[in-house]
């Protein structure tokens, strides 16, 4: 019995002590849309790790001296989550959000966490840009 507990202890130590690459923070930017998501992969259809709202600070991660950019997505750290956010949703300075401009109105909406999640998912599905049709 003691032999098995020692083996289990050693295996758990190996599993939990694996060495991961150290991420370095490049800069802090701000989320500039009403609600959005930190995604697991650099895709709008990817699993959401966390929902964030306008004005939330986002740390851009860099490895080996370069910011990580996959397509239009920056690798970011938000709280304990390491994921991806589309660069069009980030700005260098904190913008005045609707929740800042009209706090009484925004607070009276009493949005639940699931409603914020779905607002963020809706925001992910919008295609932004100019039409090339003449």
pLDDT tens digits, 47-62: 999 999 999 999 999 8
Q: Residue 47 belongs to what domain range?
A: 23-93+101-124
Band of residue 111 on the pLDDT scale cut at 50, 70, 90: very high
Number of domains forming the structure of the chain: 1
Predicted pLDDT of residue 79: 92
Would you say residue 43 lies in a domain?
yes
CATH number of the domain bearing residue 30: 2.30.30.40
> 3-state secondary structure string, the chain?
CHHHHHHHHHHHHHHHCCCCCCCEEEEEEEECCCEEEEECCCCCCCCEEEEEECCCEEEEEEECCEECEECCEEEEEECCEEEEEEHHHEECCCCCCHHHHCHHHHHHCCCCHHHHHHHHHHHHHCCCCCCCCC
pLDDT tens digits, 23-77: 688 899 999 999 999 999 999 899 999 999 999 999 999 877 677 777 789 999 9
């Amino acid at each position: 019995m003691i032999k098995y507990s020692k083996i289990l202890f050693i295996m758990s130590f190996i599993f939990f002590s694996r060495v991961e690459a150290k991420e370095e923070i490049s800069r802090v930017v701000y989320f500039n849309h009403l609600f959005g998501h930190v995604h697991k992969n650099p895709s709008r259809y990817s699993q959401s790790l966390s929902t964030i709202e306008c004005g939330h600070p986002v740390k851009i991660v860099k490895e080996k001296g370069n910011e990580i950019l996959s397509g239009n997505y920056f690798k970011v750290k938000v709280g304990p989550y390491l994921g991806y956010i589309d660069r069009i949703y980030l700005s260098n300075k904190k913008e005045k959000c609707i929740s800042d401009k009209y706090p009484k109105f925004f607070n009276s909406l009493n949005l639940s966490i699931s409603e914020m999640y779905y607002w963020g998912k809706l925001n992910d599905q919008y295609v932004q840009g100019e039409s090339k049709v003449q």
